[in-house]
Structure 1
Amino acid sequence: MTHIIFYTKPGCMGAVRQKALLESYGHTLEERSLLSTEWTPEKLEPYLAGLELKEWFNPNAPAVKSGQVIPGALSREETLDLLCTDPILIKRPLMNIGDQVLAGFDAEHLKQIGLCEVPSGYNTGCHSQDQGGTCASGS
């Protein structure tokens, strides 16, 4: 099938479910830490290109939830710099799928490109009860 490079926060339960679903379709995943990867605006921007600026953010990141960071309030360049400096803010997972890169686990898009179908009701997200809420935190 397909080899996927899968950037996420280690220990995120949503990512565990996402990876399990992709692997159930026969894909191989190479997991990498979103947090320990050295991001530059040039390296990160292609993943986010298909999204609106405010969608570049992980809505569960503590700084977003607290209102300290307001998605869409900064310029494109300022947003890229902020995300590269503080990668917990980046919408995840980031995936390299062949020659395509994307941010987020968009069930409809993954179906359109023939990667997998997300069953109705299948939980692919992070929720605060997962691992005591550590999915969204930077720890």
Structure 2
Amino acid sequence: MNFVCYPKCTTCQKAKKWLDEKGIKYELRDIKENNPSYDELKKWYKASGQPLKKFFNTSGLLYKSMELKNKLPNMSEEEQLKILATDGMLVKRPLLIKDNTVLIGFKEKDYEELFK
């Protein structure tokens, strides 16, 4: 199981604490140091069942400075995935990847459901 996060992110810290308190083992990956590749993002996106827009960190400075809010609706899925693969700070986090399940962000209820 992979836990892809940005260690300075408070939401990531909460998710990590939750996993640690439950004694759940995971492989930690710093998204800033080891950005997900196009192929990884495409695989995770398909497995998540979520719209691709959910993978964007819409509150991030980079997202805002690139004006992606206005650009994404006119971009193909492939173009969006390529942009996501350029910088980990564009990707919403944390990402929890377990088997064929991908959780985006941290909602305690979703984590509890996955590990019950």
**What is the TM-score when the length of structure 1 is the normalising length?**
0.67
2:4 and 2:29 in contact (8 A); partners too = yes
The corresponding residue for 2:61 is: 62
The corresponding residue for 1:36 is: 33
The residue type equivalent to 1:89 in the other structure is L
Q: How many residues align?
A: 111
CA RMSD of aligned residues (A): 2.2
In the alignment, the residues of structure 1 paired with residue 66 and residue 85 of structure 2 have an alpha-carbon distance, to the nearest angstrom, of 19
In the alignment, the residues of structure 2 paired with residue 93 and residue 9 of structure 1 have an alpha-carbon distance, to the nearest angstrom, of 7
The alignment partner of 1:7 has SS state of: strand
The corresponding residue for 1:7 is: 4
Unaligned runs of 5+ in 2: none
The residue type equivalent to 2:100 in the other structure is Q
The alignment partner of 1:85 has SS state of: coil
**What is the TM-score when the length of structure 2 is the normalising length?**
0.78
More helix per residue: 2
1:19 and 1:29 in contact (8 A); partners too = no
1:8 and 1:32 in contact (8 A); partners too = yes
The alignment partner of 1:28 has SS state of: coil
